[in-house]
Amino acid sequence: MTAEMLEAFNREQFPQIDHMELKVEHVDDKTIRVRMSVKDMHLRPGGTVSGPTMMQLADAAMYLLLLAQIGPVALAVTTSLNINFLRKPAPGGLYAEGRLLKHGKTLAIGEFSLYSDGLEDPVAHVTTTYAIPPQR
Amino acid sequence: MTAEMLEAFNREQFPQIDHMELKVEHVDDKTIRVRMSVKDMHLRPGGTVSGPTMMQLADAAMYLLLLAQIGPVALAVTTSLNINFLRKPAPGGLYAEGRLLKHGKTLAIGEFSLYSDGLEDPVAHVTTTYAIPPQR
Amino acid sequence: MTAEMLEAFNREQFPQIDHMELKVEHVDDKTIRVRMSVKDMHLRPGGTVSGPTMMQLADAAMYLLLLAQIGPVALAVTTSLNINFLRKPAPGGLYAEGRLLKHGKTLAIGEFSLYSDGLEDPVAHVTTTYAIPPQR
Amino acid sequence: MTAEMLEAFNREQFPQIDHMELKVEHVDDKTIRVRMSVKDMHLRPGGTVSGPTMMQLADAAMYLLLLAQIGPVALAVTTSLNINFLRKPAPGGLYAEGRLLKHGKTLAIGEFSLYSDGLEDPVAHVTTTYAIPPQR
């Protein structure tokens, strides 16, 4: 699936996160970069992006990376997510860059670094596991 | 801080999560139970509560548990969160029950099980770490 | 499988960890308590039990808990382990107490607290996931 | 500290893991590569390296990476470690490559991929946090 197909499929499946305006800036058979649009509803006191927003971005990026490999039929679900918050994100743009560590028959594991526009070092790091349903 | 004080402080500090209508059903010097009101915006296809909503609930419950110990002055921040999704939550009520595993000078670690009304087994399990700022 | 059967099977399968002298003090269909014998080789400067020793104990306890449910035929393998070190263990006895959070067809997830003899609070907390091979 | 100084300090402080014969193949102000010598005692049935051995390697690599930054005086301790096992390591050489995600005043967070000689993809992935004692 191309970046455009991924975005379209995501909008259709997850209208609840339309507010993130996810944009797939790059995707191939191992890596992905997904950008979100940060709005007031994603912020916390002090103007930083909230933790759950960052988790959501990483989770969505992993879902899209997996989707790009197995196509839109399968209903993969998150089984675990581990996040380390590294430094305060700036209130501007936020994007996730990540790669598939493993893509097995029943499990896929990915690793993501989250970056805030204007900061060189990552603001958060995520590893996450998805369960892949049996293919028909 | 009592349950009412915690809820009031939380509403004041985090108006962005007003939609969860968090209710502290129990709190003492080691444990807490926090209930949220599940609405359409928290759901995913199939009617289950979204992962980020569950992470948010656990994160808020840890924050409130810590606040109950150190009072409203300190600005504790999440440094890491690890979540395992165990089974599909029902679309109804959701609550987190947890305990402080450690409350040190600079770090606090908590463990939470998330339950869905009507299901006996937990729907998710979370461990999370907060950094505690130096007390003045 | 009974506690004795589990210990025997474990000794046969994992002679490399004979040095731990694992003892299953309790096991049922959801929980287990496994004790190890702490020796010089498990210690670190200052006389505390090493981190990898604690990880090994939790990993073995999960394996035994799972074995008690599915029997000795299946070859379950660890897919992830998350440990929080909470406080210094005493050099004496160490045991793990834990429970199955989930026992699905392909994944089992467990949660363990590690205790040091003479300390009331846990010295470490572990969540871990095992992949269960398809049953023939 | 140079690679040689790190190895010497490590041998002096942690004689219990002499059996790993850790070798610092590269170290700079953000990254490190540490190789271990795999022996029978590190193996499991089927000839693969045991999970706790891999955790030990990653933990030691993080310790050495941190030591290279702050020098041999400080007594940093692991506060958490999260490992994902990705595929079976070969019985041959094993090494960890990693980087500092954060090096703050009280916490340092690192990320490591473990590789088995002869396999292109990583066999395990680790994120770990160390608490740094106050500097005098």
Other C-beta atoms closer than 10 Å to the C-beta of B105 total 9
DSSP secondary structure letters along chain B: --HHHHHHHHHHH-GGGGGG--EEEEE-SSEEEEEE---GGGB-TTSPBPHHHHHHHHHHHHHHHHHHHH-TT---EEEEEEEEE-SPPPSS-EEEEEEEEEE-SSEEEEEEEEEETT-SS-SEEEEEEEEPPPP-
Residue pair A68/A32 in contact (Cβ under 8 Å)? The answer is: yes
Chains touching D (3+ CB pairs < 8 Å): A, B, C
pLDDT in tens, A27-71: 999 999 999 999 888 888 777 898 999 999 999 999 999 999 988
Range ranked top by mean pLDDT from B16-25, B116-125, C10-19: B116-125
ipTM of the complex: 0.92
Which residues on chain C are in Cβ contact (under 8 Å) with B125? 101, 109, 111, 127
- Alpha-carbon distance of A82 to A80, in angstroms, equals 7
pLDDT in tens, C95-120: 999 999 999 988 999 999 999 998 99
Residue D19 falls in which region: left (phi positive, over 0), alpha (psi -120 to 50) or beta: alpha
pLDDT of residue C30: 96
CB contact under 8 A, D107 and B80: no
Beta bridge partners of C130: C78, C108
pLDDT in tens, D42-93: 888 777 898 999 999 999 999 999 999 988 866 788 999 999 999 999 878 9
Minimal-distance CA residue of chain B relative to D132: B106
Residue pair A60/A95 in contact (Cβ under 8 Å)? The answer is: no
DSSP H or E segment with residue A67 = helix A51-70
CA angle (A77, B120, C63) in 5-degree steps = 65
Interface test with A, best of D101, D105, D109 (most A CBs within 10 A): D101
pLDDT in tens, B92-133: 899 999 999 999 988 999 999 999 998 999 999 999 999 987
Q: How many CB pairs under 8 A join B and D?
A: 14
Nearest chain A CA: its distance from D3 CA (Å): 25
Interface test with C, best of A77, A78, A80, A103 (most C CBs within 10 A): A80
Report phi then psi at B11, rounded to 5: -60, -40
pLDDT of residue B44: 80
Check pLDDT > 90 for residue A103.
Answer: yes
pLDDT of residue B134: 73
Check pLDDT > 90 for residue D35.
Answer: yes
Residue with tokens 């003045």: B136
More confident residue, D56 or C90: D56
Residue with tokens 């000839």: D47
pLDDT of residue A25: 96
CB contact under 8 A, D79 and C77: no
Minimal-distance CA residue of chain A relative to C108: A79
- Joined tokens for residue C8: 């025997």
